[in-house]
Structure 1
Amino acid sequence: MEKLDWIILALTLGTIVAYGWWKTKSSRESVEDYVRGRKDTPWWAIGLSVMATQASAITFLSTPGQAYHDGWSSYNFISGYPWPWWSSVWYLFRFTTEKSVYGLRITRTTFDSKTRTLTAILFLIQRGMAAGITIFAPAIILSVVLGWSLTYLNIGIGTLVILYTVSGGTQAVSVTQKQQMFVIMVGMFFAFFYVLGALPEEITFGKALKIAGSSDKLNILDFSLDLNNRYTLLSGLTGGFFLALSYFGTDQSQVQRYLTGRSVAESQWGLIFNGLLKIPMQFFILLVGVMVFVFYQFNDSPLHFNPEAEETVQESHLSEQYKMLQENHRQLLNKKAHAHTEFAAALDFNDLTLLESSETKMKTLQAEELRNREAARTLIKEVDPQEETNDKDFVFIHFILNNLPSGLIGLLLAVILSAAMSSTSSELNALGTTTTVDLFLRHNKKELTQKQSVRYTQLFTLAWGVVAILIASIANLFENLIQLVNIIGSIFYGNVLGIFLIAFFIKFIRGNAVFLAAIGTQIIVLLIFFNTSISYLLLNFIGCALVIFIALLLESFERIQPKSNLEE
């Protein structure tokens, strides 16, 4: 990194933190303002804030790498997204006066205190873990690639977020996310147009798409019924639907963003605006990843994108074998570049015979490259079984640091850290609010002043910030970081969504049955996850259906028994 990169990075992050602290000084006087803002956020800002909460650093690190390896197949995941947005807009009417989503409709049913508390605790567990991952994701990548201390990065990112989130609460999150989204989108557009400009002169955007398509990177919809396949239309329309409905309708980190709206209509339009932008944005990020794949068909790429893993094997007794794989990889790169140039020329002349032969050659070379990369992963694992061999999360950061010009590198790093800050601030804000409103204030018998309530919310937000940093410090890379966050959500979200659906639509089921059903469901979902290979997206549907089914059985059984005093 050059001096210019450091200046851009420091100015961007410093300005966002300072602006968030300065802009929200008045929100520290009232707990209403602290947890819900001033209720003056326009619809477009709500939409951006909701999007910024979703778009963590994991999105901008992992998604391009995922597209590099798997193409557009993960787009199946969001095929079920549009309907939850409309559903959330519809029942948004029902809780715009609440501070916390877990105190909304549930408080007006026969649900008892322990059921409401359990629902809040399930959220706190999964979102607390996710907050740690959103800090860890950029920290681990930057520490490996730049050689920075992982511990200091975790503490640094977490501290920056804690500073303005604890200081200004919900309003601080909302006002800073507009700037963060601006930085994020500007940076990604620069990266996209730069990678297009860096392709060989004869490779136009249309030809780049043809090359990607011939490499099976543009296959979007998978109609297979394989339950073990993560990214199919079936898993998207079922698991993706329930994951999104849970996220937008029951996750305090999301709901708290649109509870700041000037009116119900503003909040609804904000959610619709986010829905209209989310799918194109996800598509665009995947497209950036696909273009990076095309770029590396004509330019040098490492045998393994994780430099730490490469260093491990290069310093071991298997270094000579790894060097042979690297040499083979370099030869394959030259052959691939020639085959792709030949393919592009065949497109110009519309030569079907040459087109078919060059496409066959391309696929053969890519298959050989995949075998070569797999052999490299095997050697790395042989040297150190604990070393992470998945390198999807390192693809985009490698491209940034090794191919972008000075200044743009600093901007893209600011994108990654801004995304980490925006999503983490929303999570800490939601965790602090939920802990205060749904646990502390509900069970605290003493009357507190406004300032005392704000103080407790700040303390709980700070505590969750420390917890997130600790989780980040002990975390480790999973198969793919963006998948890890969705897996954590899928394990808990379905259960929470089922509780909400019971509260809204099956009102004769009482709290005791729901409480027992929720505990049983969570145990079953965990057993399914750890003991089967079923797609994690389907856990959302399974959890939701299970808690409703078990609660119905328990309520039916309880009603035919003599009345007890179990209900509070």
Structure 2
Amino acid sequence: MQFDNLGQIDWIVLIGTLLFIVFYGTYKSRGSKNVVDYLKGGHQARWWTIGLSVMATQASAITFLSTPGQAFHDGMGFVQFYFGLPLAMVVICLVFIPLYHKLKVFTAYEYLETRFDLKTRTLTAILFLVQRGLAAGITIFAPAIILSAVLEWNLIYLNIIIGVLVIIYTVSGGTKAVSMTQKQQMAVIMGGMLFAFLIILNYLPLDISFDKALDIAGANGKMEILDFSFDFENRYTFWSGIIGGTFLALSYFGTDQSQVQRYLSGMSVRQSQMGLIMNGLLKVPLQFFILLIGVMVFVFYQFNSSPLHFNPAGVKDVMASEYAGDYQALEDRKREIEADLRVKQISYAQAEKPSEEIKLKEAITLLNREEESLREQSRVLIKKANPNAETNDKDYVFIHFILNNLPRGLIGLLLAVILSAAMSSTASELNALGSTTAIDLYRRNTPNQTERHYLSASKWFTLLWGIIAILVASFANLFDNLIQLVNIIGSIFYGNILGVFLLGFFVRYVKGTQVFIAALINQALVIILYVLDLNEIINLPYLWLNFVGCISVMAIAIILQKILSKPNSIVGV
């Protein structure tokens, strides 16, 4: 589906939804009088606002574009990535939130100066700014490059439009604007995804019930949720989710200012805690549901034609090359498989004898394996046609389904879902980047200015980071699966930052200089480990970097403390 094929109703729904969110957020949050109003929303947020804001910050456009495609290709196993999140919410509610509120901090990193020293605070703030600044650009870039490919919209213009819309209400209203708009965005997001799920089920043949659809998915390995192996070849297992996922969630929700700022705006400690508990209870089911949509898209394409490769840019490259004939042959064979699959799936749904079901299941599984082999061959041809082409098409699966199968009006709504999610996460990130720069770097080094001066500085820094995010988005390159890219960037930095915070909370005899040196050494170590894994010299999936980074910075700091000075006490928080 091209740019000019969107119906008038789609444009009305899309533009109307986005403009309403921008104007609503700007109007409801106008009139910040000081830094507390601007960066903490005047401490007015209730628990449900905090919970929705926390969820909306994490649920970027990448979630709604990449996750269904992840499930389409690899099944439900990705949900294990989130298993550690509820455990992390409990720890943050018991340890992080009471301490942050007691110290009345604007940012998480203020605590580190109180506990250690200024250089440790500054280092962690800079590490946050680096990784979150990159992530903010990717949050804009992810939906922009996909929409530009399938709709033939100009990529640079899309980056600028998304970025400018977010900048308008984030700069003008600060934290309150972000929280207020995220409630509306979550309503749009969940409503759109629910409609998409129901329509997929409605599009399945009459003989295919929901139970049968799940059975079809299970026969092709899409419903294998739990993997208890310690196989490092598999990125997503129960143990990587519980261990690596817990450390990642502790780092993200406990030390990443884009999340900390959401619950620092709470009316009280209890309101902040209830907001995070809400997130802990709902996040795994939400992610399960989004993955299930991807699985249902897989089932839908068992009865309907699908592209051999979902990224239209890759197909265009290969069809304009000497490999066009080879690619066409693969497409011809795929059409034959699809016709055979439709017949066998209907027969499977109507089968009454267990022996007949087993025989048909085996035949269907073999056909799907052959189809996947054709997809792999297509990726090889695309790479031959254009060595710089991105052959991973997971991020294009769901948007292809939306544009080619949903009714008018709902296409506009789902596009609004994608762009709303991008705006939601980006707003939180810009808000956090601006506040960290203003409080941890600028105000700390230019004291004795007026409140109005710091308020103005916070807005200017937010605007600056918005411009930087647009620039990063404009020069970014698509890398593997986008949801993985954001998590990889986080995993490289989060474990190190979390380890510094845990040292502050629980190991009181370690001093600032030792922690500062340990954090520098450890950050270099984590980057080296990731590069070694990337080059297949070692095998350490990125989720484990959170655990390794956290434990190693604590160990290095303790060793340095013992070497450089005699310890005098170990106490808890």
TM-score, scaled relative to structure 2: 0.96
Letter in 1 for 2:59: A
Cα displacement (A) at 1:94? 0.8
Task: State the match for 2:93 in structure 1.
Answer: 89
Cα displacement (A) at 1:23? 1.1
Letter in 2 for 1:382: K
Task: State the match for 2:108 in structure 1.
Answer: 101
Work out which of the residue numbers 60, 66, 69 in structure 2 matches 1:62.
66
Q: Is 2:431 the counterpart of 1:429?
A: yes
Q: Distance in 1 between matches of 2:324 and 2:221?
A: 33
Letter in 2 for 1:361: A
Q: Is 2:549 the counterpart of 1:543?
A: yes
Deviations 1:289-326 (Å, cap 9, x if unpaired)?
Answer: 11000000000100000011001101111111111111
Task: State the match for 2:472 in structure 1.
Answer: 471
Cα displacement (A) at 1:456? 0.5
Task: State the match for 1:565 in structure 2.
Answer: none
Cα displacement (A) at 1:272? 0.7
Cα displacement (A) at 1:224? 1.1
Q: Is 2:297 the counterpart of 1:296?
A: no
Q: Aligned ranges for residues 206-285 of structure 1 at < 5 Å?
A: 206-285=211-290
Q: Distance in 1 between matches of 2:219 and 2:84?
A: 27
Cα displacement (A) at 1:42? 1.2
Q: Distance in 1 between matches of 2:477 and 2:67?
A: 18
SS in structure 2 of the partner of residue 361 of structure 1: helix
Work out which of the residue numbers 26, 43, 46 in structure 2 matches 1:39.
43
Task: State the match for 2:506 in structure 1.
Answer: 505
Q: Distance in 2 between matches of 1:398 and 1:317?
A: 26
Letter in 2 for 1:543: G
Cα displacement (A) at 1:494? 0.1
Q: Distance in 2 between matches of 1:153 and 1:214?
A: 40
Letter in 2 for 1:64: P
Cα displacement (A) at 1:25? 1.2
Deviations 1:65-110 (Å, cap 9, x if unpaired)?
Answer: 0000011111111121111000111121111221111112x2332x
Letter in 2 for 1:373: R
Q: Aligned ranges for residues 146-225 of structure 1 at < 5 Å?
A: 146-225=151-230
Cα displacement (A) at 1:560? 5.5
Q: Aligned ranges for residues 390-539 of structure 1 at < 5 Å?
A: 390-445=392-447, 447-532=448-533, 533-539=539-545
SS in structure 2 of the partner of residue 167 of structure 1: helix
SS in structure 1 of the partner of residue 389 of structure 2: coil
Task: State the match for 2:117 in structure 1.
Answer: 112
Q: Aligned ranges for residues 380-399 of structure 1 at < 5 Å?
A: 380-399=382-401
SS in structure 2 of the partner of residue 155 of structure 1: helix
Q: Distance in 1 between matches of 2:23 and 2:362?
A: 56
- Where structure 2 has 5 or more consecutive residues not aligned to the other structure, the ranges are 1-5, 534-538, 568-573
Q: Aligned ranges for residues 245-394 of structure 1 at < 5 Å?
A: 245-346=250-351, 349=352, 351-394=353-396
SS in structure 2 of the partner of residue 37 of structure 1: helix
Q: Is 2:565 the counterpart of 1:559?
A: yes
Letter in 2 for 1:65: G
Q: Distance in 1 between matches of 2:123 and 2:52?
A: 31
Q: Distance in 2 between matches of 1:107 and 1:476?
A: 37
Letter in 2 for 1:139: A
Q: Distance in 2 between matches of 1:510 and 1:488?
A: 28
Letter in 1 for 2:367: L
In angstroms, what is the RMSD of aligned CA positions?
A: 1.0
Cα displacement (A) at 1:450? 1.3
Structure 1: 4+ residue segments shifted above 6 A: none
Q: Distance in 1 between matches of 2:472 and 2:36?
A: 30
Deviations 1:519-563 (Å, cap 9, x if unpaired)?
Answer: 1001010010011231100000000011000001111111169xx
Q: Distance in 2 between matches of 1:115 and 1:274?
A: 30
Cα displacement (A) at 1:26? 1.4
Cα displacement (A) at 1:444? 1.4
Q: Distance in 2 between matches of 1:279 and 1:244?
A: 12
User: Contact (CA 8 Å) 2:79, 2:284: kept in 1 or not?
Assistant: no
Deviations 1:13-41 (Å, cap 9, x if unpaired)?
Answer: 000000111111111x2111100002111
Letter in 1 for 2:228: F
Count of equivalent residues: 554
Q: Distance in 2 between matches of 1:464 and 1:156?
A: 15
Q: Distance in 2 between matches of 1:308 and 1:107?
A: 49
TM-score, scaled relative to structure 1: 0.97
Task: State the match for 1:564 in structure 2.
Answer: none
SS in structure 2 of the partner of residue 303 of structure 1: coil
Deviations 1:233-261 (Å, cap 9, x if unpaired)?
Answer: 11111111100111111111001001111
Q: Is 2:50 the counterpart of 1:49?
A: no
User: Contact (CA 8 Å) 2:395, 2:481: kept in 1 or not?
Assistant: yes
SS in structure 1 of the partner of residue 31 of structure 2: helix
Q: Distance in 1 between matches of 2:524 and 2:315?
A: 39
User: Contact (CA 8 Å) 2:113, 2:120: kept in 1 or not?
Assistant: no
Q: Distance in 2 between matches of 1:401 and 1:352?
A: 38
Cα displacement (A) at 1:479? 1.3
Letter in 2 for 1:68: F
Cα displacement (A) at 1:178? 0.5
Cα displacement (A) at 1:345? 1.2
SS in structure 1 of the partner of residue 208 of structure 2: coil
SS in structure 2 of the partner of residue 38 of structure 1: helix
Q: Which has the higher mean CA deviation after the structures are superposed, 418-427 or 332-341?
A: 332-341
Q: Distance in 1 between matches of 2:167 and 2:254?
A: 25
Cα displacement (A) at 1:443? 1.2
SS in structure 1 of the partner of residue 130 of structure 2: helix
Cα displacement (A) at 1:189? 0.4
Q: Distance in 1 between matches of 2:53 and 2:263?
A: 8
Q: Distance in 1 between matches of 2:411 and 2:204?
A: 18
Q: Distance in 1 between matches of 2:117 and 2:280?
A: 34
Q: Is 2:145 the counterpart of 1:143?
A: no
Q: Distance in 2 between matches of 1:59 and 1:83?
A: 21
SS in structure 1 of the partner of residue 308 of structure 2: coil
SS in structure 2 of the partner of residue 101 of structure 1: coil
Cα displacement (A) at 1:274? 1.4
